[in-house]
Amino acid sequence: MSLPLSLQWQEDELIMLDQTRLPIEEVMLRPKTVEAVFEAIKMLRVRGAPAIGIAGAYGLVIAMQHKRNLTWPEFLLEAERQADYLNSARPTAVNLSWALKRMIGKLNDQHDSETAFQVLLEEAKVIHEEDRKLCRGIGKNGLSLIKEGMGILTHCNAGGLATSELGTALAPMYLAHEKGISFRVYSDETRPLLQGSRLTAWELQRSGIDVTTICDNMAAVMMQEGKIDMVIVGTDRVAANGDVANKIGTFNVAILANYFKIPFYVACPASTIDLITPTGAEIVIEERAPEEVTAFGERRTAPIDIKVRNPAFDVTPANLVTGIITEQTILRAPYAESIRQTYGNA
């Protein structure tokens, strides 16, 4: 099974797979500046909540690698400024702010710029390695949900490309495939940027998993025909009450699954659970450029000067979620209680 690596740190260099070029080309990026990392996150060259958290951590390392000559107060102030800058690249996914806060928090006990830089570098590596273990834990906890002959629908991309390795929503599928369980995946194309057809279908096919790409508006028919037995999606933020923010169109899928009485699961690491945000209503939803909607590839598909809305995410209410698969357990309703019992209070 050949799994893609979304990003690597090798010989003091960040290497990222440019996901905007897939599935036609596999192009590796080597950003040398914090601005280049910011651009890669903003323009979805690296994407997926866990992956952008890791990229943000390494981005802070890159930002500070030439600042070691600053006095300690100057170094700390600059690190905080650069963390704020990186965090502004994408507001909805909580992992980015989580990773950057964690990085800055490691500087609390430091008093020397050179030592502090080494602390930042080591913490970024720890965050990266932790994500690998978290993804495998999610996979193990979700594995029992996948049965022989199942049809599974997923939306957007929550696989190896969105994380350090196995993914979140796709992690149970990869482990089931390793065990020889036969199942079929239906991958929503995920308009407007086609992460499902460009990325999910690409990595599943490459790994030898039976995958079929469908347009977003075909999900209801697939369910009506009895081809879908379960839905598993990722998420960019889980509110304290269990509401989940994920790629636009996820809410549609959850409503359909509820209508057809199909289990709807969300998979994520604990770092995606935002205990400070009470409900999905408080989650900031990123609005992206209208050009993403008015064109398909390089061809314009809408009138000039047409008004456009382009929210990148939607919020699925907790009452539509069958379970939240984490590296620790499968959380069940009532989510405010199960989240609090498992991960504590904000």
- 94 with 156, same domain: the answer is no
Whether 224 is covered by a domain: the verdict is: yes
Unique residue bearing structure tokens 């919020």: 315
Low-confidence ranges of the chain (pLDDT < 70): 1-2, 345-346
Helices H / strands E in the chain, number of each: 12, 16
Pairing of strands 295-296, 299-300: antiparallel
Where among 86, 111, 136 does a domain terminate? Answer: 136
- 130 with 150, same domain: the answer is no
**The pLDDT of residue 298:** 80
CATH classification of the domain holding 37: 1.20.120.420
Predicted TM-score (pTM) of the model is 0.90
Nearest residue to 172 via CA among 226, 256, 234, 258: 234
Whether 95 is covered by a domain: the verdict is: yes
For residue 236, indicate whether it is catalytic. yes
- 177 with 86, same domain: the answer is no
Whether 2 is covered by a domain: the verdict is: no
- 192 with 310, same domain: the answer is yes
Q: How far is CA 94 from CA 74, 123, 302, in A?
A: 27, 18, 33
- 246 with 103, same domain: the answer is no
Question: Which residues contact residue 288 at a Cβ distance below 8 angstroms, ignoring those fewer than 6 apart?
Answer: 310, 311, 312
Whether 1 is covered by a domain: the verdict is: no
CATH classification of the domain holding 219: 3.40.50.10470
CA distance 101 to 278: 20
- 249 with 166, same domain: the answer is yes
Name the residue range of residue 28's domain: 7-136
- 280 with 303, same domain: the answer is yes
Whether 190 is covered by a domain: the verdict is: yes
Question: Across the chain, which distance is largest between two alpha carbons, in Å?
Answer: 66
Where among 136, 171, 187 does a domain terminate? Answer: 136
- 184 with 290, same domain: the answer is yes
Which tokens hold the place of 26?
């596999």
Question: Which residues contact residue 228 at a Cβ distance below 8 angstroms, ignoring those fewer than 6 apart?
Answer: 151, 152, 153, 186, 219, 222, 257, 260, 262
**The pLDDT of residue 1:** 63
**The pLDDT of residue 260:** 98
pLDDT in tens, 143-201: 999 999 999 999 999 999 999 889 999 999 999 999 999 999 999 999 999 999 999 99
Considering Cα of 36, then 38, then 44, then 50, what sign does the dihedral take? Answer: positive
Whether 112 is covered by a domain: the verdict is: yes
**The pLDDT of residue 91:** 84
- 225 with 91, same domain: the answer is no
Per-residue burial over 287-312, b = 16 or more CB atoms within 10 Å of its CB, e = otherwise: ebeeeebbeeeeeeeeeeeeeeebeb
Whether 147 is covered by a domain: the verdict is: yes
**The pLDDT of residue 109:** 87
Exactly one of 131, 216, 236, 274 is catalytic; which is it? 236
Where among 113, 136, 159 does a domain terminate? Answer: 136
**The pLDDT of residue 2:** 64
- Domain count of the chain? 2
- 44 with 193, same domain: the answer is no
- 261 with 226, same domain: the answer is yes
- 188 with 102, same domain: the answer is no
Whether 298 is covered by a domain: the verdict is: yes
**The pLDDT of residue 345:** 65
CA distance 206 to 198: 12
Question: Which residues contact residue 235 at a Cβ distance below 8 angstroms, ignoring those fewer than 6 apart?
Answer: 49, 158, 168, 244, 245, 246, 266, 267, 268, 272
